[in-house]
């Protein structure tokens, strides 16, 4: 194998920018990220410092146990300080003095597309330099440099998985910062990234001598956010390393190498993000990722069998939505997910037919505290699900606050 030579830095200020230059990583956490977006959507055209938005953000902060101060002050409000987290992904539009959620943002906020459909669209379309948040792109344009960072990361993981055992299909923030980002600056072929990563792991090349394209601690944090995004939406599984964030492993998860190749080959016909969703949906990749992500989460729950037994017992083995009573097709679904501090108590569960459970966990079906059922655009197009009842009776033992939390933040 030919050793990969150190690349040159394309221009002095070359870096991968996620959103703001001083990152607040926890704003990327889906409950906070989606909760804030839904507040913005509810108060379209309001001033960011309006009493209504400030009150809504305070509620998000409280109910998600956010470590970030979402309210701040009227002069230094969230949109002014950190609005680029939502603008960078095409969810907020540029506006002076008011909050305007894009059509793509409205689809996500209103539950018409799922989290995975949103994330897949971002993976396919996010490009550096990000013109939604960057005014001066002259240095990038001068050398015609355009990078799709999330798609590139998945392409690299797919090639590692193809060449080697799937357990080796991972990258670390250090490898992203010191190998992938520098090579992307010279438009390297995909094989070079994988060769360089493996040569580094084998001690054959010294990447500390390569150009540093993430010179500050904030640059490194911004770069890591690309991996955090893939982890937050199930495309990667984060394995924490005791030696710090730089050595965390982001392992390919819930998407196969074949699906990554298919996604890469997909040609987007229209650029408006709310139209791109439908083109990506046709591939069935989001649906496949959702199924595998949910299955993995369920398998990782140690007390799932006990939880199922208790939920089926209290629901008298009857699906809340369809009324089906065949135990073989009934499952117990957590309302507030375990990963967000939900528990295995009977008031945090629903008895659902297996396919309805899949719809519920992937957010194609939302159950409001009032009992109203809301289906995604895709679920509504499928005749059988379009005929589901529009309302169900929520048993008194179910904690409606958990349903409310799920609708707002999941």
pLDDT digits (tens, 9 = 90+) for 242-278: 778 889 999 999 999 999 999 999 998 877 888 899 8
- Are residues 246 and 164 part of one domain? yes
Shared domain check, 262 and 194? yes
Would residue 6 count as lying in a domain?
A: no
Can you tell me the mean pLDDT for 121-131? 96
Burial 225-246 (b: 16+ CB within 10 A, else e): bbbbbbbbbbbbbbeeeeeebe
Report strand pairing: 330-334 vs 365-367.
unpaired
Read off the DSSP letter of residue 366. E
The H-or-E segment that residue 261 falls in is helix 257-265
Domain count, the chain: 3
Predicted local confidence at residue 166, as pLDDT = 60
Query: What is the reported pLDDT for 73?
Result: 73
Q: Does 244 or 379 have the greater pLDDT score?
A: 379
Is residue 33 in a domain?
yes
In a domain, 290, yes or no: no
Question: Are 233 and 111 in a shared domain?
Answer: no
- Stretch among 44-53, 107-116, 158-167, 230-239 having the lowest mean pLDDT: 158-167
Tell me what percent of the chain is helix, strand and coil, each rounded to the nearest 5: 50, 10, 40
Predicted TM-score (pTM) of the model is: 0.92
Q: What is the mean pLDDT of residues 273-295?
A: 89
Q: Convert the pLDDT of each residue in 206-227 to its tens digit.
A: 999 999 999 999 999 999 999 9
Count of CB atoms situated within 10 Å of the CB of 369: 16
Average pLDDT over residues 302-316: 90
What are the structure tokens assigned to 187, written together? 């438009």
Query: Tokens 């054959």, residue?
Result: 204
Residue 169 lies in a domain: yes
| DSSP-based three-state secondary structure for 247 | helix
- Same domain, yes or no: 80 and 213: no
pLDDT band at residue 339, thresholds of 50, 70 and 90? confident
264 and 342 belong to one structural domain: no
**What is residue 177's DSSP assignment?**
I
* Gap between the Cα atoms of 403 and 343, Å rounded: 13
Q: Is the CB of residue 99 less than 8 Å from the CB of residue 44?
A: yes
Q: How many CB atoms lie within 10 A of CB 141?
A: 11
How high is the pLDDT of residue 168? 72
Could you tell me if 160 and 109 lie in one domain?
A: no
Question: CB–CB of 121/91 below 8 Å?
Answer: no
CATH number for the domain that contains residue 82: 1.10.10
| Nearest C-alpha neighbor of 122 from the set 277, 293, 289, 259 | 277
Asked if 79 and 46 sit in the same domain, the reply is: yes
Question: In terms of domains, do 305 and 350 share one?
Answer: yes
pLDDT reported for residue 298: 72
Taken in order 185, 189, 190, 193, is the CA torsion positive or negative?
Answer: negative
Q: Is 73 helix (H, G, I), strand (E, B) or coil?
A: coil
Percent of the chain residues topping a pLDDT of 70: 99
Residue 342, pLDDT score = 92
User: Based on the domain organization, do 186 and 237 belong to the same domain?
Assistant: yes
Per-chain mean pLDDT for the chain: 92
Residue 338, domain member (yes or no): yes
Domain of 30 in residue numbering reads as 25-125
Nearest-CA neighbor of 164 among 206, 202, 123?
202
Q: In this structure, are 308 and 265 located in the same domain? A: no
Instruction: Dump pLDDT digits (tens) for 142-193.
Output: 999 999 999 999 999 999 998 876 667 899 999 999 999 999 999 999 999 9
Mean per-residue pLDDT, 6-11: 96
**pLDDT, mean of residues 299-323:** 89
Q: How far apart are the first and last CA of the chain?
A: 46
Same domain, 195 and 324: no
Asked whether residue 295 is domain-assigned, the answer is no
């Amino acid at each position: 194998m030919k050793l990969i030579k150190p690349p040159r830095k394309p221009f002095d200020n070359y870096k991968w920018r996620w959103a703001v230059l001083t990152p607040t990583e926890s704003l990327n956490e889906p409950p906070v990220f989606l909760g804030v977006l839904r507040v913005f959507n509810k108060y379209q055209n309001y001033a960011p410092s309006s009493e209504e938005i400030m009150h809504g953000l305070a509620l998000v902060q409280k109910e998600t146990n956010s470590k970030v101060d979402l309210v701040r002050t009227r002069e230094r409000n969230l949109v002014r300080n950190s609005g680029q987290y939502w603008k960078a992904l095409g969810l907020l539009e540029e506006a002076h003095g008011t909050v305007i959620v894009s059509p793509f943002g409205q689809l996500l906020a209103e539950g018409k597309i799922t989290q995975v459909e949103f994330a897949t669209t971002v993976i396919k379309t996010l490009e550096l330099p990000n013109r939604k948040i960057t005014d001066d792109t002259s240095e990038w344009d001068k050398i015609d440099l355009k990078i799709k960072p999330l798609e590139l990361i998945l392409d690299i993981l797919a090639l590692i998985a193809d060449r080697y055992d799937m357990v080796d299909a991972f990258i670390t923030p250090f490898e992203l910062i010191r190998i992938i980002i520098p090579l992307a600056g010279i438009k390297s072929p995909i094989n070079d990234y994988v060769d360089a990563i493996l040569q580094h792991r084998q001690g054959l090349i010294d990447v500390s001598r390569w150009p540093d394209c993430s010179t500050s601690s904030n640059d490194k944090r911004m770069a890591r956010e690309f991996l955090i995004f893939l982890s937050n939406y199930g495309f990667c599984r984060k394995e924490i390393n005791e030696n710090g964030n730089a050595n965390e492993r982001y392992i390919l998860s819930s998407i196969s190498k074949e699906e990554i190749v298919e996604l890469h080959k997909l040609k987007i016909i229209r650029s408006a993000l709310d139209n791109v969703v439908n083109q990506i949906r046709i591939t069935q990749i989001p649906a496949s990722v959702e199924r595998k992500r949910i299955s993995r989460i369920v398998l990782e729950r140690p007390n799932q069998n006990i939880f199922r037994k208790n939920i089926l017992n209290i629901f008298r083995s009857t699906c809340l939505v369809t009324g089906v009573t065949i135990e073989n097709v009934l499952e117990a679904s957590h309302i507030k997910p375990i990963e967000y501090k939900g528990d295995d108590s009977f008031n945090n569960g629903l008895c659902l037919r297996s396919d309805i459970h899949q719809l519920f966990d992937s957010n194609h079906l939302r159950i409001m505290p009032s009992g109203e059922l809301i289906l995604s655009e895709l679920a509504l197009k499928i005749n059988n699900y379009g005929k589901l009842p529009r309302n169900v009776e929520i048993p008194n033992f179910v904690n409606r606050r958990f349903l409310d939390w799920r609708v707002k933040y999941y």
